[in-house]
Amino acid sequence: MSYCLNPVCPHPENLANTELCQACGSKLLLRDRYRVLHALGQGGFGATFLARDESLPGQPHCVIKQLRPTATAPHVMQMARELFQREAQTLGKIGNHPQVPRLLDYFEASQEFYLVQEYVSGSTLQQEIKRSGPLSEASVKQFLSELLPVLQYIHSNQVIHRDIKPANMIRRSHDCKLVLIDFGAVKNQVSAIAASVTDQTALTAYAIGTPGFAPPEQMAMRPVYASDVYALGVTCIYLLTGKSPKDLDYDPATGELIWEKHVHISEHFTGVLKKMLEVSVRHRYQSSSEILRALDLEPYLDSLAGSMNSVAARTDGVKGDAKDRGHDSQDSSSPVARAAMAIRARQQQRSEATSLQPGAARSRVIAAKPTTATLRTKNTGGHIDPSGVRSLGSGQKLDAEGLQSYYDKGKRDFAAHDLTLLKLPRADLSGAVFHQSNLRQINLQGANLFNADFGRASLNRANLRDANLGRAYLSNADLEGADLRGADLSHAYLLNANLRGTNLCGANLTGAKLTEEQLVMARTNWLTIRPSGKRGMW
C-alpha cells in the first residue's frame, strides 16, 4: 500500500506502487525515494509513518516523522524551522548509540518538516505488559540495569528525553535489547497558540511529556535531567503493577504517587524507587549513575559490611588519636568511611526494627576466652580480639601460611594489607575481604574467591587464572596486566576497574557488571563468554 501524507486527503490509502494519490493527486513517493506504507501514530503537531526507502538495495524500512506547524505565519515557520533543525542535530548526535534509533535523513517539503529514522522492529514495553502481565522485582532491576546506561549516555550529550514511558521503549526483535525511541522531535515544536503570542512564548508555551509520567517541574516547563529519572521511576511502577499512573492515587497534600500497597518488593528496592519518585527535585536522584550505584551496591552490602566497618574502625582510631594530639582529622570524609557509616546506619535501623517487634528477645554478647595461639605473621602488630582470633594491624605484612591460618580460624577481613607476591594457588578464600589491599603479583591461580571483596585493591599482574571470582566485588580495582584466563567472573562487579592489558581469554563474564569500553582495553578471544552469555570476540 502507498499512503498519502497530505493532511487533508479524504482517502490517503492507495494501491502499492501508485505514483499519485487517487483521491487528491499528491505525489506519493516522498523525496523521490520514501514510499509511506501506513501510519504508526499521530499527535497534535504531527504524525509518524512506516515507510520503505526505494533508493537503497533491499528497500529497507524506516520511520518518517512529519511535523505539521499549526500556523503558516513567516515568523512561526522560521521558529519551527530552527527548532526542527536543532532537533535533527540532536538526534544525529545521540543516534550513534546502539539502543537509540539512528537519524537517516531530514528535510523540508511543502512547509512541512520530516525526520527519517531507523526502524526498530519489536514490541513496546506497554504492549508486553498488556500481553503478559506485570514483571517481578528482579526483572524490573534488569530493565533498569539495561536502560540506565542509555539514559546516562543521552544526558551526557546534554539531551533531556522528556517523554520516558513504556510506550517509548521497544524490545528489539533480533537481539531483545531495549531501544529508547521518540525524543520529542515531533512534539517539541510550536504550539497551537504560538501564532498569537510572543516569539519566546511560542517556543515554551506548553508542557512536553505525558501527564502522570512527567514530574511537576517538567509540566511547569522547567525540565532537568532528574525529570527523566522521575519518569523512569513511574515506568518501573507500571512494570511492577501493570497500572498506568492515572489508575493510581495521589497524596493530595504532597502530590506523591501512592503505589507501595500495590507491589511486593524488597525494602532496599522500595527505597530506590521512592527516591526516584521524589516530587522535590532536590531530594530526587540527580543522575542515572546514582541509581546504578544504589542498585549495584545492594548484593554486596553484607560482604562489604565487615570490610567497611573494619576500615572505619581504624579510621575512627586515627581520628581519635588526632584529636588527642590537638589536630583535626579528615579521614571520616573519605569514601570508605562514608560507605561504612551508611552500612552501619542501615544495620542499626534493622536492629532497631527487630527490637521493636513484640516478643523480640534481646541479643547477648558472649565473649570467648582469648587464645594464646601464635599465628604466623612477619611482624607482631596484631592484637587478640574477643573472638579469640588475633586481629591484624593496618598495613601488616602476612605470609601465605599466616593468611590461610587466619582464614581457617574464621577471620575474613584482610582489608588494606600488603599481600604482594604471596603464593596461594587453589586456596579457599571465598567471602574474604581484600578491600584496598595490595595484591600485586599475587598467585591465586585456581583459588576459590567467590563473593570476595577486592574493591579498590591493587591486583596488578596478579595470577588469577582459572580462579572462581563469581559475584566478586572488583569496583575500582587495578587489574592491569592480570592473568584471568579461564576465570569464572559470572555476576562479578567490575565497573570502574582498570582492565588495561588484563587477559580475559576464555573467561566467563556472564552477568558481570562492566562496560564495553573497559573490555576494549583487555585481551579477549572467541572463548570469552560475554555478559550477555554469548561466546565470542568483542
- Residue list, annotated binding site for ATP: 65
Of 430, 399, 432, 398, nearest to 310 by C-alpha is 432
- CB within 8 A of 417, min separation 6: which ones? 392, 394, 395, 396, 397, 398, 434, 437, 438
Of 234, 228, 136, 125, nearest to 178 by C-alpha is 125
User: Are 413 and 433 in contact, with CB atoms under 8 Å apart?
Assistant: yes
User: Are 4 and 24 in contact, with CB atoms under 8 Å apart?
Assistant: yes
**DSSP letters along 273-307, please?**
HHHHT-SSGGGS--SHHHHHHHHHHGGGHHHHHHH
- Residue 37: count other Cβ atoms within 10 Å of its Cβ: 16
User: Are 149 and 180 in contact, with CB atoms under 8 Å apart?
Assistant: no
Cα dihedral sign for 237, 238, 244, 247? negative
User: Are 188 and 208 in contact, with CB atoms under 8 Å apart?
Assistant: yes
Residue with cell 512529519: 66
Q: Which residues are annotated as a binding site?
A: 65
Backbone dihedral angles phi then psi of residue 301, each to the nearest 5 degrees: -60, -45
User: Are 42 and 50 in contact, with CB atoms under 8 Å apart?
Assistant: no
User: Are 412 and 398 in contact, with CB atoms under 8 Å apart?
Assistant: no
> How far does CA 118 lie from the centroid of its chain?
24
Which of 53, 105, 163, 478 is flagged as catalytic?
163
Active site residue 163: yes
> How far does CA 237 lie from the centroid of its chain?
17
Tell me the three state secondary structure of residue 407. helix
Backbone dihedral angles phi then psi of residue 263, each to the nearest 5 degrees: -125, 160
Q: Which DSSP letter does residue 298 get?
A: G
What are the catalytic residues? 163
